[in-house]
Structure 1
Amino acid sequence: MSRSRNYSAIKRQCEITGKLWEDPDFPAADQSLFYSKKLHKKFVWKRPKEINVNAKFVERGFERFDIKQGELGDCWLLAAVANLTLYEELLFTVVPRYQSFGEGYCGIFYFNFWQYGEWVEVCVDDRLPTVNGELVFMHSAEGNEFWSALLEKAYAKLCGSYENLQTGSASESMEDFTGGIAERFDLRDPKQASEITFMDIVRAVESRSLLCCSIDVWQRVLFVGLVKGHEYSITAVKRVNMPWSLGSKVVELIRLRNPWGEETEWNGPWSDRSKEWNWLTEQQKKDLDLTFASDGEFWMTFGDFKRYFERLEICHVCHFNDDNSTADPASVRGKCDELCERWRQQSFNGSWIKGKTAGGCGKDLITQCLLLFLESFARNPQFQFSVTRSECTAENDCSNCIIALMQKYRRRQHAESNRFLHIGFAVYKVDDAMLYNRVLDYQFFANHESASGSRAFINIRENCQRFRLEEGRYVVIPSTYDPDVEGEFLLRIYCKNPDAL
């Protein structure tokens, strides 16, 4: 991705004037920090060389250990940043190369984020909020390294303020760093938990997906060292063969990292310096790149992972393109023989407008209750797609369609508790060719069952669902739960076959 005219123009102007850039759109002021509470600390904005005379943009390369959480509740962002460092191609899309405090330094840095179907460049000056001369929010373990703090500032600018980074889902930030499609799995649901196997995680890692996990409920440390209400990065998976004396069994291990970047770590089996490591050879430890440090990273068995963690989020980093293009994403479910399968994407932008296209929700697919707000439901936007060949290479229940409904621009709003609307969608099969190119009306919905749809209406940025559809023509109806609630959205539809759309 090339540098935009905006960055280049600003840099040229700074070179002419000899002055360091000061961003007028995201000033070094309290309004860029918090809007809902009075500040009890004196924040002083400083440039990196005012914090550390040996300041570097990056020191000894980009690493997951560069990520340490500060006094902001944005672990959902930091966990994704840590995963981003595992893949240079993805990292350098977001954090362009060759930025430094050396020759040509003008106090401006730039980053790229995916937003609703396109990549946007965000320029920031390098004035960072400090208290007593130290960075307050995200920072590197290396005291003279500043790329991570500047990345967080750029994302805060994109979202409107640092406060707007408080609380979120790793799915959101992972998508903004990759343009991928993120799925969330509830490990408390026996059905969903049983469908997630260790090999699914292996396939996801091998396909360069980003993975995060969490334990719900508000933040507190459990007796086993895990933190509730907190996001973790999944940074590696490995099968380890145990010695003959222990039955020659295979242990499935998963490596996680707490973005706090300190000693709050898992303390159960296979934790740092636990007795289990004595069973492995030195070569096996080397293969695992094993280190014991108070850095927030630890290993645990896959069984313990599923026992304690409640939510798994996987962002498929597949360079999907619109319309007649194809890509090779890996199926996280691992139900098909091929690791890489062909998909095709279609994207739609739309909006819910009060009194016009904000019709409210349709049938509850879980309880199968009568249509709610049926009279207004038909006013919702309607989008058509076809599945022309839906065979899978393995079991008949292999999903062949993913639909993701994303609401736009809500994180910039100054209302944390009501930021995201409850959104969902219903999918109807249209057997009558005469109806396919027409807007479906009240009578159609009153007399037809939906073929599929989202499990529920949820108040997160994106509601994503995968399922299997038969060959045929379909209409998807995205909506809010309540009628006359306004908002904008991006709808993405993926079908598995090369001529599926």
Structure 2
Amino acid sequence: MSFRIYVLGMLAAYLERLGRGVFCGLCVCCSCTYKDSKFPHDHRSIGTFKGRTGAELDKEITWRRIGDICAAAAPQPKKGGASGSKPKPAARLFADDIEPSDICQGQLGDCWLMSALACLACQQGAIQQIFDTREYTQYGRYKMRLYDGTRKKWRSVTIDDWIPCGADGQPLFAKPNGDEAWVVLLEKACAKFMGGNYAALDGNLMIKALEMLTGDFVCMFRLGDTRDAKSRGKPRTEQRWTRLELSRGPPPKDAAPGDDLRLVYARDEPFDSELMFKSISWELRHGSTIGASNAGGKDTENVHGIVQGHAYALMKADEADGKKFLQLRNPWGTFEWSGPWSDKSPLWDQHPKVKAALDFKAADDGTFWMEYTDFINHFNTLEFCCRSTGFEHVVINIHEEHPCCGPCWGCLEGCARYWLCCLGCKALCCGRHVTQFKRPPAGCCGCIA
């Protein structure tokens, strides 16, 4: 498996570069790059944006290549050489490690998608396995695979690298983090996959995004649901969580992915507050991804910094000094919780043990900690993606920052992690295949990571 993943992966990367150089090099030299005729560079690929459509949008929107956008956004390298010239920064598909801070939502209501990406960015190989094209290409053709839950199969999606921008030259929707292009390109692929335009991404369920990106089992919990009679009339902290699952009938021939999306109530008993926290901790430790939202209100409203009707990524669950804490991230990359245990809260200095246990560091990056009781008072929906893990999530990093020896370096690094850091043993012995939601085991087994 290590030979197949790393050695063959390295050879495939070099062969792909050779193929692009031979077959696409002349086109690139002649400025004749790939353009996707099924996703044209006009209002048809935008849909309805801010109540406008048609030729009116074409006057306001310009299309730029992702390489030009990322090169302008990248940190400018220092001057070097005798001439003192400044080398031009290059765009990359992935730069260094993939992190939640790579994600910044734009002027589109796709927080459900951005939050899902923030969750998956914390898991090794989860984003890379979506991309069949593993590095930036000047030819501008990128191929990805997304899961069609309606037809229960993976579909290949091919896009070009032209991105809609405003008058300032910045992308209207997702924005790149420096010279890193993967978020912007993946958002475009999802727009083509979901309905053929960006407007198709405006509002949906986070579990839909998680299923589309991973193909894994997904479900949702709602707090104090009307089906749970025991929760009625009680404070939020005493209400229980009711589970729902996706249910689909036979899709019509012209159905877009998710057109027949429905939620049905699961047959198991609702979860109380304590069991829900244990389930969150258990699933996060086993590589699952979880989103949180408040189903009411508009995203122009907020309560103590928590945006209403907005999806957040749930990053960590931990206990310290007898208190339960959750770490969340706003896909906007800013605008955080302002209540107890927020970044500016004096409670961190008053409780140094908690600060050390949670490794707290204040930063305006959209990530923040909340005590579990405050979380329940501000969020009423949890969306789970129970990840199946194994060798399919072990991928090679071809290190685009090293143009010539990057794949070779990635092969050596990957083999070292595979054999010396027990990555291979973990994939072989600790992998799991999930087809349904299970409650965390009771007793000491529930404490094993």
**Band of TM-score, shorter chain:** 0.5 to 0.7
Quick check: 1:108 aligned with 2:119?
no
Matching residue's letter, 1:290: F
Give 1:15 deviation, angstroms: 3.6
1:360 counterpart residue number: none
Q: Determine the structure 1 residue equivalent to 2:440.
A: 334
Partner of 1:49: 67
Q: CA deviation at 1:328?
A: 4.2
Q: CA deviation at 1:273?
A: 2.3
Which amino acid is 1:223 matched to? V
Larger helix proportion, structure 1 or 2? 2
Instruction: Note if contact 2:133-2:142 (Cα within 8 Å) is conserved in structure 1.
Output: no
Structure 1 residue 9 displacement after superposition: 8.9
SS at match of 1:73: coil
Quick one: distance in 2 between partners of 1:20 and 1:63?
A: 30
Residue 256 to residue 8, structure 1, CA distance change in 2 (3 Å)? farther
Indicate how the Cα distance of structure 1 residues 259 and 11 shifts in structure 2: closer, same or farther if over 3 A, else same. farther
C-alpha displacement at 1:319, in angstroms? 5.7
In structure 2, relative to structure 1, the CA distance for the partners of 1:181 and 1:331 (3 Å cut) is closer
Q: Report whether the alignment pairs 1:261 with 2:333.
A: yes
- Distance in 1 separating the partners of 2:384 and 2:110: 18
For residues 51-98 of structure 1, give each alpha carbon's deviation from its aligned partner in whole angstroms, at most 9, with x where no partner exists: 335333233321101111100011000000111111122222113574
Residue matched to 1:194: 272
Q: Helix, strand or coil for the counterpart of 2:300?
A: strand
- 2:158 maps to 1:126: no
Structure-2 separation of matches of 1:310 and 1:78: 19
- The separation in 1 between residues aligned to 2:24 and 2:192, in whole angstroms, is 21
The 10-residue stretch of structure 1 (183-192 or 71-80) with the greater mean CA deviation from structure 2: 183-192
Structure 1 Cα separation of the partners of residues 169 and 342 of structure 2: 35
For residues 207-265 of structure 1, the C-alpha deviation after alignment (integer angstroms, 9 at most, x for no partner) is 11110011112323333111111000001111112xxxxxxxx1111000111111x21
- Tell me the residue number matched to 1:144: 179
Q: 2:220 aligns with which of 166, 184, 187?
A: 184
Partner deviation per Cα, 1:318-352 (whole Å, 9 max, x = no partner): 269xxxxx954495532556669xxxxxxxxxxxx
Aligned-residue identity in percent: 29
The equivalent residue for 2:99 is 63
**Structure 2 partner of 1:34:** 47
Considering fraction of residues, name the structure with more strand: 1
SS of the equivalent of 1:87 reads coil
8 Å Cα contact 2:128/2:134 also seen in 1: no
SS in 2 for 1:49: helix
Shift of 1:194: 1.7
Pairing partner for 1:84 from 104, 120, 143: 120
Q: SS state of the match for residue 229, structure 1? A: coil
The question of 1:237 aligning with 2:307 is answered no
Change (3 A) 1:7 1:56: closer
SS in structure 1 of the partner of residue 295 of structure 2:
strand
Matched, 1:252 2:324: yes
**Contact 1:201/1:332 (CA < 8 Å) preserved in 2?**
no
Deviation of residue 191 (structure 1)?
3.3
Shift of residue 164 of structure 1? 0.4
Go from structure 1 to structure 2 and tell me whether the alpha carbon gap of 1:153 and 1:8 turns closer, same or farther (over 3 Å shift).
farther
Taking the aligned partners of 1:8 and 1:304, their CA distance within structure 2 comes to: 55
| Pairing 1:220-369 to 2, within 5 Å after superposition | 220-241=300-321, 250-262=322-334, 264-281=335-352, 285=355, 288-318=358-388, 327-329=432-434, 331=437, 333-334=439-440
Q: What is the RMSD of the two structures over their aligned residues, measured on CA atoms?
A: 3.1
CA distance in 2 between counterparts of 1:13 and 1:273 reads 55
TM superposition shift of 1:8: 11
Q: After superposition, where does 1:203-214 map in structure 2 within 5 Å?
A: 203-214=282-293
Tell me what 1:23 maps to: 36
Alpha-carbon distance change, 294 to 144 in structure 1, aligned in 2, over 3 angstroms: same
Equivalent residue number for residue 14 of structure 1: 24
Give me the whole-angstrom Cα distance separating, in 2, the residues matched to 1:144 and 1:328. 36
In 1, distance between residues paired with 2:292 and 2:349?
28
Q: Give, in whole Å, the separation in 1 of the partners of 2:299 and 2:342.
A: 21
Q: Deviations over 1:91-128 (max 9, x none)?
A: 22113574125xxx311122221113222221211111
Matched to 1:83, the amino acid is: C
Q: Deviation at 1:308? A: 1.3
1:7/1:110 contact within 8 Å kept: no
Q: Which has the higher contact order (CA 8 A, sep 6+)?
A: 2
| Larger Rg over CA atoms | 1
- SS of equivalent to 1:216: coil
Of stretches 64-73 and 19-28 in structure 1, the one that deviates more from structure 2 is 19-28
Uncovered stretches (5+) of structure 2, i.e. residues with no partner = 73-88, 226-238, 242-270, 391-430
Q: Which string of whole-angstrom CA distances, capped at 9 and with x for unpartnered residues, describes residues 445-471 of structure 1?
A: xxxxxxxxxxxxxxxxxxxxxxxxxxx
The answer for unaligned runs of 5 or more in structure 1 is: 242-249, 321-325, 341-501
Q: CA deviation at 1:138?
A: 0.7
TM-score by length of 2: 0.65
The change in CA–CA distance for 1:232 and 1:184 in structure 2 (over 3 A counts) is same
| Aligned-partner SS, 1:45 | strand
Q: How many aligned residue pairs are there?
A: 321
Deviation for aligned residue 1:50 = 2.5
User: Take 1:332 and 1:221, find their aligned partners in 2: how far apart are those partners?
Assistant: 35
What is the TM-score normalised by the length of structure 1?
Answer: 0.58
